[in-house]
Amino acid sequence: MQRFSLRYLVLLVMMFGCIQTGFSKDKTGKLKITSIELGYPVPSSPFYHFKANLELPNASIIEVTAFVNGEEMRFVNLHKGHVEENPNYPAMAHRPPSGYALSQDNTIYESPGISGWLAWQPGEEYKIEIKVRMKDSAKQSEDDDIISASANLMAPTGNHPFDPAWKNYKSIVLSETTGIDRVGEPVEVLLPFYPDEANDLKREIRVVAVDPDNYQLTEVPSQVYDIMKYTAEDDLAAVEPEGAKRTIPLWMPTVSCRLSFMADVPAKSSRVYLVYYNNEKALTPSYLSNLRVQGEAPGLQIDNGVITAWLHPNSGHLDQISLTSKPDDPLFHRMETNGAIHWNPGIYVPPHPWTHTADWKLDQNISTLSGPVMVTSEVWGGLREVPQVDASVRYQFYPDVPYFISSTSMRINETVQAIALRNAEIVFKRELLTKAAWYDVIRDSIIVYDVGNMADLTDLKMEADVPWITFYNGETGLGFAGIQLEYANAGLESRNRLLNPYFYITGGPWIYWSRALSLPFLAANMQQVVPAMKGSMFMEKWAYLVYNAEDDKPFKPVLAWRKRLTNPLRIQLVEEVDARVSKSLIEIYMDEGKSGWEERETGKH
């Protein structure tokens, strides 16, 4: 029995030795760079970059550091050699600096691939040195081996990157997912900057499109707005009174802005756009477009080359609109009180008058913005006679499209007892439009209704989330449609109390559609009240489309534009890791306890 035990023990020792030998590092081995190249921006790596494939002397857990002309690269993507993103699509896998700081990588590599952000210039020579720390475990040890290799590369001399006077850039990958060629598609993205890089963003930013075939750059019209600055610096004080002074800031001063530009993206594809900035000597760009603004806010006239809209001089609400190709057939209302086309949000809290945002008389906040890519008109404030309720209406116009975007919101600051709570109301003079059409989800069909011959004060009801609705006139060939983009109701202090919400059309001297959020006024018992609760929010976003309705299917353009507008381009922002970003990370936790990262050994291979 002892002899068997001794033999068994020897066998175990031999097996353990074989296992250790299989995973031990080759002390004499060298790192090999099997391939390396400089690359242009593509959707999977939407920046000027280098890419290299490596061969290790043996399989190992590793850390990789890359240097370009002696300067350490702050962010290097590492992957197994056989795992590579499709270059025609945005990357799925990404490890941000916080991931490098927190995670322990137990993956065993043998032929890894790496890539990194390298703003190379044509014809310049670059020495790229790659160092690999080979480890027995995820954590570093004094027994780790560090091997290295280097290569000299000459940058291509073909198509040049943007003017090097612009010191920095960010990348935006746009993806089309619906099967529609997008030409001149409006895109909006929010961008952050360090203050020392954001001298004058309106003057300095340039947006360029990258041609996927030859990598040529083409500047496109852009517009910078909504700039906000947070300049306070972290004083690195201890988080707790008895704690030690920190060495790592929790935040950095930041400047942020919105950027809009016009993009071209073919159906079912992705395209790269580069946003260049940080050039103190840049001149203010001048871009031409068909967007034209006249008048004094809030009563603006906006022409985008396809439609012309007039906003009410008191409320800033849509008052008249026409197709540029049919200037003699404008659409309007002017039959009741304020006379605007667009009326809501609105509420009726007796004995106060029924009040709408369209009833404002220059007693609201007003803000406008105009440029080559977008014109925005915003009005907001308390509703007249009902100060417990605030509301806002925002319009956005873009060049060369037959629609504009309307966003509305209503907030209940104190509970009120309401007979009517409505939104998304569009009103026209009755004689201007003769037919209505909408998609009925219950009947799973498009309903066409002769509203020209409909009895006064007859309600046509539909679901609250009706995807689209339109009025049109076959004789004038003019149609006006609403395409619902977003619709949300929420409550903070309590749940919303909505009585039988629905969408409806009704007629009188006018013809209109509206959303009944809670509307006892049109219910069987019209004098009952329903509380609109404190903290309730009601939000809508619509595209309002003016179109030619002379086709045998007058609502056909509505279907085409709905498909496009409800499936916008997908946006992915990719940024370089700045040298000032810390290599480790701290977080402030609410309560004492474990973080979950203690002694983490994933064991993943």
In a domain, 503, yes or no: yes
**CA gap 377, 369 in Å, rounded:** 7
> Are 316 and 237 within one domain?
no
Burial class (CB in 10 A: 0-12, 13-18, 19+), 267: exposed
Backbone phi, psi, residue 176, to 5°: -100, 130
Residue 604: per-residue pLDDT:
56
Number of domains comprising the chain: 3
> Are 283 and 311 within one domain?
no
Burial class (CB in 10 A: 0-12, 13-18, 19+), 7: exposed
Q: Which two tokens stand for residue 436?
A: 């209505």
Alpha-carbon distances of 200 from 127, 222, 224, 280, 390, rounded to whole Å: 34, 15, 10, 8, 34
Alpha-carbon distances of 309 from 186, 288, 301, 371, 538, rounded to whole Å: 19, 20, 6, 16, 26
Domain span at residue 262 reads 168-287
Q: What is the CA radius of gyration of the chain?
A: 31
In a domain, 574, yes or no: no
**CA gap 108, 35 in Å, rounded:** 20
In a domain, 1, yes or no: no
**CA gap 172, 97 in Å, rounded:** 19
User: Reduced to 3 states, what is the DSSP secondary structure of residue 25?
Assistant: coil
CB 9 within 8 A of CB 23: no
CB 545 within 8 A of CB 555: no
CATH code at 319? 2.70.98.10
Which residue, of 229, 257, 287, is where some domain finishes? 287
In a domain, 408, yes or no: yes
Handedness of CA 35, 37, 41, 47 (dihedral sign): positive
Which residue, of 287, 308, 343, is where some domain finishes? 287
> Are 310 and 458 within one domain?
yes
> Are 307 and 249 within one domain?
no
In a domain, 15, yes or no: no
Residues with Cβ within 8 Å of 258's Cβ and at least 6 positions away in sequence, in order, are 188, 189, 190, 191, 224, 225, 226
> For 432-473, what is each residue's pLDDT tens digit?
999 999 999 999 999 999 999 999 999 999 999 999 999 999
- Residue 20 parent element (H or E): helix 2-23
**234-250 burial string, b = 16+ CB within 10 Å, else e?**
eeeeeeeeeeeeeeeee
Angle at 380 between CA 378 and CA 386, to 5 degrees: 155
User: Reduced to 3 states, what is the DSSP secondary structure of residue 196?
Assistant: helix
CATH code at 78? 2.60.40
Quick one: three-class SS letters along 460-520?
EEECCCCCEEEEEECCCCEEEEEEEEEEEEEECCCCCCCCCCEEEEEECCEEEEEEEEECH
Residue 102: per-residue pLDDT:
64
> Are 435 and 399 within one domain?
yes
**CA gap 350, 177 in Å, rounded:** 49
End-to-end CA, the chain: 39
Q: Which of 23, 57, 68 is nearest to 147 (CA)?
A: 57
> Are 275 and 391 within one domain?
no
Residue 94: per-residue pLDDT:
80
**CA gap 333, 342 in Å, rounded:** 9
CB 317 within 8 A of CB 424: no
Q: Peptide bond preceding 351: is omega within 30 degrees of 0, i.e. cis?
A: yes
> Are 210 and 306 within one domain?
no
In a domain, 602, yes or no: no
> Are 235 and 347 within one domain?
no
Which residue, of 121, 154, 187, is where some domain finishes? 154
In a domain, 2, yes or no: no
> Are 283 and 304 within one domain?
no
Alpha-carbon distances of 536 from 313, 381, 383, 497, 499, rounded to whole Å: 30, 16, 15, 9, 14
**CA gap 199, 257 in Å, rounded:** 13
> Looking only at Cα atoms, what is the longest distance across the chain?
109
Q: Name residues of the chain where pLDDT drops below 70.
A: 1-28, 83, 101-104, 597, 600-605
Q: Which of 330, 334, 342 is nearest to 432 (CA)?
A: 330
> Are 433 and 506 within one domain?
yes
In a domain, 266, yes or no: yes
User: Reduced to 3 states, what is the DSSP secondary structure of residue 4?
Assistant: helix
CA torsion, ordered 7, 9, 13, 14, to nearest 10 deg: 20
> Are 239 and 310 within one domain?
no
> Are 277 and 413 within one domain?
no
CB 104 within 8 A of CB 601: yes
